[in-house]
Structures are given as C-alpha cells and as structure tokens.
Amino acid sequence: MEKMQEDSRLFIRHHHLRTETPDASVFERHCHNYFELLYVAAGSGKAVVEGAEYPLIPGALFLFRPLEYHYVRPDHTTPYERYVINFGKDIPMEEAARFPLLQHGTDVRTGAFFPPGQNSESFAKIFPLLDLEEGLSDGAKRTLSRTVVTQVLLLLGKNELPSSEAEETLAARIVDYLNDNLATPLTLDEVAKRFFISKYYLCRVFRGSTGVSVMHFVNTKRVAFAKELIEKGVPATEAALEAGFHDYSVFYRACRKTTGRAPVAGRGQSKNT
C-alpha cells in the first residue's frame, strides 16, 4: 500500500479487503479532503452519504468527493469484499481530470452512486489490477494506482451517469442546509427552527441517519475545509475564519479532537470503508 503524501492533493493509496462476517459497527463514519472510489466486489447492505442511503451491492461503484460525510453498513450475513482508492485532486490524468463529478458546482450533492451497468464488466477487470503491485517499486505502484483511477474515471465520464436512487429524506435536506452554511454561525435552535421541528427531534433524526451529532458533523466538515485551505497556502488563522470558526483557538481544539493532531498541512488519516 502506498504511503500518503504530505499534500493531500497529490495523495493516493488503495486497499483490497474481504471480510467474511462484517461487523457494521467497526466501519467508521468519516469525511476527508480527498476523493474516494469504492468498488463493491461482494456483499450487501447500505452506504450512507451525507444522510442519503444507497444499496451496497456487488458491482456497484461509489465516488465520494472531498468533505462528503460517508460510511457503509454491510450485512453481517454476507461476506463484504471491496476495493478502495483514496486519491488527491491532482491525481487524475489528462481527460479524466476534467470529469464533471470531480469539479465544484456539480448538482450531485450526496456522493455519486453507480449501480451495476454497462461498465460493470470493465470495472471487474480494472480494479483487480491493483493486486499486481507486489514486487513493484514505489514509483511503479503509484503509476499503477493512477492508471486505475484514470481508467475508471474515463469510463464514468464517457458512459455513465450517477444514479438518483437516493431518497431525499429530512436528514438529507438538513445536511444540504448545513453544507451551504458551514461558514456562518450555526446553532441547534436555529437549524431546528429552519425546519419547523424541535431541537430534540432534529438531533434524533440527524443522528439516526448520519450516525453523528449535528455539531460533530459541522465541526468535522469545517476542519476538513480549513485543512484544504491551509494546503493551498492560506494562513491557518485565515483558513479557520473562512471555514466558520470564530477564532483560531476554537479551530485548534476542534482539529485536535477530530483528527488527533494540530492543524497544519500534513497527512490525512486512513479510514475504514
């Protein structure tokens, strides 16, 4: 497995895992400031992206974009096998880098889910190429990973549109609102009032769908966004304010709490998907 680069824009790593009796509780709810491709080779269950649910089925492909909160809940009665590639914004090569779903401003707000379709046979051949890295140099491994990402994105860009199967739940609408207002002051009372529900009901519905509290979701997103700005050269204090923290000390504490490290441009954390 490839080591993560200092700049998440240039970062790429992958893994191929099979879990015979998956325990849903060990699959972390998380977001990060790089892309993730998840190809399901076997299994059943669901994937949740920004509060929207999708079926976890063999042959399905997911593209999670930076700052999208996501997790999977595999069925423990069925083996779960998957290929996962995490990659930075500067990894896709040539035409693949212009794939619309990699760009800001896309209408797809809750991940990109591609059910088994016309590219299924190609994906079933492309992802196992990652298993050929044994014995290769680090540079060759990196080239192999980049090539797989590029091939997948080119196929998606030419032949596939993401599915719209996700149900627009109350939690998903709340997630949209939070994402649109991360840089502004947010309180539970204000969000509950916005959706004409009680604060108690807001918390229960949101945690039931996303698995985390409203403010944990908000702070995790803000930290990831601030880290992205810092990697682009924005001073940490300015990045904290732009991401929605009213002062640097609040950002510092939130960063230590959510990532376990100080808020400097550096390595991201490996998460389980």
Residue 61 placed within a domain = yes
Q: Residue 149: which CATH number?
A: 2.60.120.280
For the ranges 85-94, 168-177, 247-256, 263-272, the maximum mean pLDDT occurs at 85-94
Res 107: pLDDT: 55
In this structure, the answer to whether residues 123 and 248 fall within a common structural domain is: no
Q: Which residue has the tokens 């693949």?
A: 96
**Domain end position, chosen among 126, 159, 192:** 159
In this structure, the answer to whether residues 31 and 155 fall within a common structural domain is: yes
For the ranges 75-89, 103-117, 172-186, the maximum mean pLDDT occurs at 75-89
In this structure, the answer to whether residues 97 and 20 fall within a common structural domain is: yes
**Domain end position, chosen among 115, 138, 159:** 159
pTM of the model: 0.73
Q: Is the dihedral of CA 252, 258, 261, 263 positive or negative?
A: negative
In this structure, the answer to whether residues 117 and 180 fall within a common structural domain is: no
Separation of alpha carbons 101 and 1, rounded Å: 26
Asked if residue 198 has pLDDT above 80, the reply is yes
In this structure, the answer to whether residues 119 and 186 fall within a common structural domain is: no
Res 264: pLDDT: 63
pLDDT digits (tens, 9 = 90+) for 153-166: 999 887 666 665 55
Residue 1 placed within a domain = no
Residue 165 placed within a domain = no
Residue 43 placed within a domain = yes
Name the DSSP class of 30.
Answer: B
In this structure, the answer to whether residues 154 and 176 fall within a common structural domain is: no
Domain that residue 191 falls in: 170-259
Residue 79 placed within a domain = yes
| Percent over 70 (pLDDT), the chain | 87
In this structure, the answer to whether residues 95 and 230 fall within a common structural domain is: no
Average pLDDT for the chain: 83
Res 28: pLDDT: 84
Average pLDDT over residues 38-60: 91
**Domain end position, chosen among 110, 125, 159:** 159
In this structure, the answer to whether residues 237 and 126 fall within a common structural domain is: no
pLDDT digits (tens, 9 = 90+) for 208-259: 888 788 988 888 888 888 888 888 888 888 888 888 888 888 887 888 777 7
Asked if residue 60 has pLDDT above 90, the reply is yes
For 256-265, the CB contacts below 8 A with 24+ separation are: 257/219, 258/219, 258/220, 258/223, 259/223, 259/227, 263/223, 263/226, 263/227, 263/230, 263/236, 264/230, 264/236, 265/6, 265/7, 265/227, 265/230, 265/231
Domains of the chain: total: 2
Closest CA to 101 of 29, 175, 169, 152: 152
